Amino acid sequence: MKTSIKILIGFLAIIILGMVQMGVTYTILSNILSNTRQIKNVEVPIELMFQQGGNYISIESDQLHSAMLRAQKGDYGGIRENKAIYDAMGMKLNDLFNRDSLMLINQSIRSRSEKDYINTKLKEMEQLNSLIFDMGVKAFAAIDKKDIDTAYSLTMGGDYEKYQKEIQLAGQNLAGVMDGEFFNIENGVVQQIQQLTYFNLIVAIVLIAITLVVLLIMYFFFSGKEKNKGMRDNRKKR
């Protein structure tokens, strides 16, 4: 094979390898950026939303217990404020279970089966919270009538505590599933970054090797030409 053809093949190999590197790098970077945006715009808000949901449930319970303590002491002045906050938390939870969570989860890159599982669990939690909230509303109504015994019977022991434990357990189980998949998505981004790093390292080594071979071919080619030219000039002088 002629030296010039070898040099041409070497340059073509460098160009083709460079184009392949650009294409693969662009594809991997696009996936990394897509998953990063997914984490920032969907997964992290989902995590924060469920944390807020847990806070709303705790605030609901605290406001109800605070109202009963006030009523027990004969302090009915601040109970309206407790009821207003209680109702506000109920509205926030209703939005979370029926609108906010569904919107975000449907935007997630999680599998359809996992989305269905999450939505089913959310529906269970929404039903439990509805039962708890309704019992709280009845307890507030009893407090308003200064019937503290009925308020306590509605919120201490029995179904109220049973539903509270069930919703806490459902929330913990759901959080475990959410955290596990969130870790997988984050880990996927890390793996893609590692793949891109190794790929570019290998391509760089191959490019350097091809470049060195082409340079050596060119060096020996032009050295041979100079040598032949020198020999021809010496013959002419003789």
HSE-up (13 A, CA, CB side) for residue 46: 27
Judge contact between 143 and 67, C-beta under 8 A: yes
DSSP 3-state percent helix, strand, coil across the chain (nearest 5): 90, 0, 10
Q: CA 181 to CA 199: how far, in whole Å?
A: 27
Q: Which residues are CB-contacts of 136 (< 8 A; sequence separation ≥ 6)?
A: 60, 64, 86, 154, 155
Q: Model confidence over 105-118: pLDDT tens digits? A: 888 877 788 888 88
| pLDDT in 10s for each residue of the chain, 238 residues | 566 777 778 788 888 888 888 888 888 888 888 888 888 888 888 878 878 888 888 888 899 889 988 888 888 778 889 999 999 998 888 888 877 777 888 888 777 888 888 888 888 888 888 988 899 999 999 888 888 888 888 887 678 888 888 888 888 787 777 777 777 777 888 888 888 888 888 888 888 888 888 878 777 776 766 566 655 555 555 5
Q: What is the pTM of this model?
A: 0.65
Structure tokens at 174: 């759901």
Q: CA 94 to CA 91: how far, in whole Å?
A: 5
Q: What is the pLDDT of residue 31?
A: 85
